[in-house]
Amino acid sequence: MGRLVAERGVDFSTLFVASVGEAQWPTAALGCPEPGTYHDTSDAPYKGLIYVLGNGALTWEYHVNADDTVVARCDELTPSNASLVNITDQSNLHEATNLTLMRRNFDNGNFEVRREMTPHDMARVIDIFDQPSAISYAAPCTTVFRLDFQTGRGTSKIEFICEENPKAFDIYWNDLHGNAPILGHIIGPYLTGDPIPALPTATQ
Protein backbone atom coordinates (compact mmCIF):
# COMPACT_ATOMS: atom_id res chain seq x y z
CA MET A 1 0.00 0.00 0.00
CA GLY A 2 2.84 2.34 0.80
CA ARG A 3 4.07 2.35 -2.80
CA LEU A 4 0.60 3.12 -4.14
CA VAL A 5 0.37 6.10 -1.82
CA ALA A 6 3.93 7.37 -2.28
CA GLU A 7 4.45 6.68 -5.99
CA ARG A 8 0.95 6.88 -7.46
CA GLY A 9 -0.72 9.34 -5.15
CA VAL A 10 -3.52 6.96 -4.21
CA ASP A 11 -5.49 8.14 -1.18
CA PHE A 12 -4.66 5.69 1.60
CA SER A 13 -8.10 6.06 3.16
CA THR A 14 -9.74 4.67 0.00
CA LEU A 15 -7.68 1.47 -0.19
CA PHE A 16 -9.08 -1.87 0.87
CA VAL A 17 -8.23 -5.56 0.39
CA ALA A 18 -10.58 -6.80 -2.32
CA SER A 19 -9.47 -10.44 -2.16
CA VAL A 20 -6.81 -12.80 -0.85
CA GLY A 21 -6.08 -16.23 -2.30
CA GLU A 22 -3.47 -18.96 -2.09
CA ALA A 23 -1.28 -19.53 -5.13
CA GLN A 24 1.81 -21.37 -6.30
CA TRP A 25 4.23 -20.69 -9.12
CA PRO A 26 6.91 -22.67 -11.00
CA THR A 27 9.73 -20.17 -10.39
CA ALA A 28 10.89 -17.69 -7.76
CA ALA A 29 9.46 -14.91 -9.95
CA LEU A 30 6.10 -15.61 -8.26
CA GLY A 31 4.27 -15.46 -11.57
CA CYS A 32 5.81 -12.09 -12.51
CA PRO A 33 9.00 -12.94 -14.44
CA GLU A 34 11.16 -10.01 -15.42
CA PRO A 35 11.76 -9.93 -19.21
CA GLY A 36 15.04 -11.57 -20.13
CA THR A 37 15.66 -12.92 -16.63
CA TYR A 38 15.96 -16.54 -15.56
CA HIS A 39 14.69 -17.27 -12.06
CA ASP A 40 15.31 -20.00 -9.52
CA THR A 41 13.30 -23.20 -9.91
CA SER A 42 14.99 -25.40 -7.29
CA ASP A 43 12.25 -25.07 -4.65
CA ALA A 44 9.26 -25.27 -6.99
CA PRO A 45 6.41 -25.00 -6.51
CA TYR A 46 6.77 -21.59 -4.86
CA LYS A 47 3.77 -21.09 -2.62
CA GLY A 48 2.33 -17.80 -1.52
CA LEU A 49 -0.65 -15.51 -1.71
CA ILE A 50 -2.25 -13.18 -4.24
CA TYR A 51 -3.62 -9.98 -2.75
CA VAL A 52 -5.89 -7.69 -4.73
CA LEU A 53 -6.13 -4.15 -3.41
CA GLY A 54 -8.79 -1.72 -4.59
CA ASN A 55 -9.97 1.82 -4.09
CA GLY A 56 -13.42 1.50 -5.60
CA ALA A 57 -12.27 2.49 -9.08
CA LEU A 58 -9.03 0.56 -9.69
CA THR A 59 -7.47 -2.67 -8.47
CA TRP A 60 -3.84 -3.72 -8.00
CA GLU A 61 -2.68 -7.36 -7.78
CA TYR A 62 0.26 -8.35 -5.61
CA HIS A 63 2.00 -11.72 -5.49
CA VAL A 64 3.66 -12.53 -2.15
CA ASN A 65 5.84 -15.46 -1.16
CA ALA A 66 5.04 -17.72 1.79
CA ASP A 67 6.93 -15.70 4.41
CA ASP A 68 6.01 -12.24 3.07
CA THR A 69 9.64 -11.37 2.26
CA VAL A 70 9.14 -10.93 -1.51
CA VAL A 71 6.36 -8.94 -3.13
CA ALA A 72 5.87 -8.74 -6.90
CA ARG A 73 3.47 -6.83 -9.12
CA CYS A 74 3.33 -8.02 -12.71
CA ASP A 75 2.09 -4.71 -14.09
CA GLU A 76 5.17 -2.90 -12.74
CA LEU A 77 7.48 -4.84 -15.05
CA THR A 78 8.75 -3.22 -18.23
CA PRO A 79 7.12 -4.92 -21.23
CA SER A 80 9.42 -6.60 -23.74
CA ASN A 81 8.96 -6.95 -27.48
CA ALA A 82 11.41 -9.85 -27.62
CA SER A 83 10.23 -13.32 -28.53
CA LEU A 84 10.00 -15.91 -25.77
CA VAL A 85 12.80 -18.46 -25.97
CA ASN A 86 13.29 -21.68 -23.99
CA ILE A 87 17.04 -22.33 -24.16
CA THR A 88 16.77 -25.84 -22.76
CA ASP A 89 14.35 -26.88 -25.50
CA GLN A 90 16.18 -25.05 -28.27
CA SER A 91 19.59 -26.47 -27.30
CA ASN A 92 18.39 -29.98 -26.38
CA LEU A 93 19.85 -29.57 -22.90
CA HIS A 94 17.66 -32.35 -21.52
CA GLU A 95 19.88 -34.68 -23.56
CA ALA A 96 23.08 -33.37 -21.93
CA THR A 97 25.36 -36.02 -20.46
CA ASN A 98 27.83 -33.66 -18.77
CA LEU A 99 28.46 -29.97 -18.16
CA THR A 100 31.83 -28.24 -18.09
CA LEU A 101 32.52 -24.81 -16.64
CA MET A 102 34.95 -22.93 -18.89
CA ARG A 103 36.88 -19.76 -18.10
CA ARG A 104 38.44 -17.38 -20.61
CA ASN A 105 42.23 -17.09 -20.67
CA PHE A 106 42.68 -13.39 -21.34
CA ASP A 107 46.26 -13.94 -22.47
CA ASN A 108 45.13 -15.83 -25.57
CA GLY A 109 41.36 -15.20 -25.60
CA ASN A 110 40.50 -18.91 -25.51
CA PHE A 111 38.18 -20.65 -23.08
CA GLU A 112 39.81 -23.28 -20.91
CA VAL A 113 38.34 -25.96 -18.66
CA ARG A 114 37.76 -24.79 -15.11
CA ARG A 115 35.88 -27.76 -13.70
CA GLU A 116 33.40 -30.47 -14.55
CA MET A 117 30.11 -29.83 -12.81
CA THR A 118 28.20 -32.49 -10.89
CA PRO A 119 25.13 -34.15 -12.42
CA HIS A 120 23.03 -32.51 -9.69
CA ASP A 121 24.27 -29.02 -10.56
CA MET A 122 23.92 -29.73 -14.27
CA ALA A 123 20.28 -30.61 -13.68
CA ARG A 124 19.77 -27.39 -11.70
CA VAL A 125 21.25 -25.29 -14.50
CA ILE A 126 19.14 -27.07 -17.13
CA ASP A 127 16.00 -26.42 -15.07
CA ILE A 128 16.83 -22.71 -14.83
CA PHE A 129 16.99 -22.41 -18.61
CA ASP A 130 13.89 -24.56 -19.04
CA GLN A 131 11.54 -21.58 -18.86
CA PRO A 132 10.43 -19.22 -21.63
CA SER A 133 12.10 -15.84 -21.31
CA ALA A 134 12.04 -12.72 -23.46
CA ILE A 135 15.73 -12.65 -24.31
CA SER A 136 16.74 -10.30 -27.11
CA TYR A 137 19.63 -9.21 -29.29
CA ALA A 138 22.29 -7.09 -27.63
CA ALA A 139 25.76 -5.80 -28.36
CA PRO A 140 28.32 -8.56 -27.77
CA CYS A 141 30.71 -8.33 -24.85
CA THR A 142 33.91 -10.06 -23.79
CA THR A 143 32.51 -12.86 -21.69
CA VAL A 144 34.46 -14.39 -18.81
CA PHE A 145 32.83 -17.81 -18.44
CA ARG A 146 31.11 -20.40 -20.59
CA LEU A 147 28.95 -23.44 -19.88
CA ASP A 148 29.55 -26.33 -22.28
CA PHE A 149 26.77 -28.93 -22.38
CA GLN A 150 27.66 -32.19 -24.11
CA THR A 151 24.67 -33.68 -25.90
CA GLY A 152 24.22 -36.37 -28.52
CA ARG A 153 23.99 -33.59 -31.09
CA GLY A 154 27.22 -31.85 -30.10
CA THR A 155 28.21 -29.12 -27.65
CA SER A 156 25.73 -26.42 -26.65
CA LYS A 157 27.34 -23.30 -25.22
CA ILE A 158 26.09 -20.49 -22.99
CA GLU A 159 28.50 -17.67 -22.17
CA PHE A 160 28.05 -15.42 -19.15
CA ILE A 161 29.42 -12.46 -17.18
CA CYS A 162 30.82 -9.61 -19.26
CA GLU A 163 34.33 -8.37 -18.49
CA GLU A 164 32.90 -4.86 -18.85
CA ASN A 165 30.16 -5.46 -16.24
CA PRO A 166 31.29 -8.30 -13.94
CA LYS A 167 28.69 -7.68 -11.23
CA ALA A 168 25.77 -8.54 -13.51
CA PHE A 169 25.06 -12.13 -14.48
CA ASP A 170 24.51 -11.42 -18.17
CA ILE A 171 24.19 -14.50 -20.35
CA TYR A 172 24.75 -14.82 -24.10
CA TRP A 173 23.35 -17.63 -26.20
CA ASN A 174 23.18 -17.64 -30.01
CA ASP A 175 23.63 -13.84 -30.11
CA LEU A 176 20.76 -13.38 -27.65
CA HIS A 177 21.16 -11.71 -24.28
CA GLY A 178 19.49 -12.38 -20.95
CA ASN A 179 20.24 -12.33 -17.24
CA ALA A 180 20.47 -15.24 -14.81
CA PRO A 181 21.62 -14.06 -11.37
CA ILE A 182 20.59 -17.36 -9.80
CA LEU A 183 23.50 -19.00 -11.64
CA GLY A 184 25.83 -17.33 -9.14
CA HIS A 185 24.70 -19.66 -6.38
CA ILE A 186 25.50 -22.70 -8.51
CA ILE A 187 28.70 -21.54 -10.19
CA GLY A 188 30.21 -19.80 -7.14
CA PRO A 189 31.49 -22.91 -5.34
CA TYR A 190 33.34 -24.00 -8.50
CA LEU A 191 35.29 -20.75 -8.48
CA THR A 192 36.06 -19.71 -4.93
CA GLY A 193 34.36 -22.16 -2.60
CA ASP A 194 31.78 -19.54 -1.68
CA PRO A 195 28.58 -18.59 -3.51
CA ILE A 196 28.71 -15.49 -5.70
CA PRO A 197 26.15 -12.94 -4.48
CA ALA A 198 23.16 -12.80 -6.81
CA LEU A 199 21.09 -9.78 -7.75
CA PRO A 200 17.45 -9.74 -6.62
CA THR A 201 15.06 -11.25 -9.15
CA ALA A 202 11.69 -10.03 -7.97
CA THR A 203 10.18 -6.61 -7.55
CA GLN A 204 10.34 -5.57 -3.92
DSSP 99-127: EEEEEE-TTT--EEEEEEPPHHHHHHHHH
Read off the pLDDT band of 5 (50, 70, 90).
low
Q: How far apart are CA 160 and CA 146, in angstroms?
A: 6
As a whole number of angstroms, the distance between CA 44 and CA 30 comes to 10
Residue 58 confidence (pLDDT): 85
- Band of pLDDT at residue 151, cut at 50, 70 and 90: very high
Contact status, residue 169 vs residue 180, Cβ threshold 8 Å: yes
Mean pLDDT over 174-184 rounds to 91
Domain boundaries, the chain: 2-76, 87-191
Question: Would you state the pLDDT for residue 194?
Answer: 42
**pLDDT tens string 118-141:** 999 999 999 999 999 888 888 778
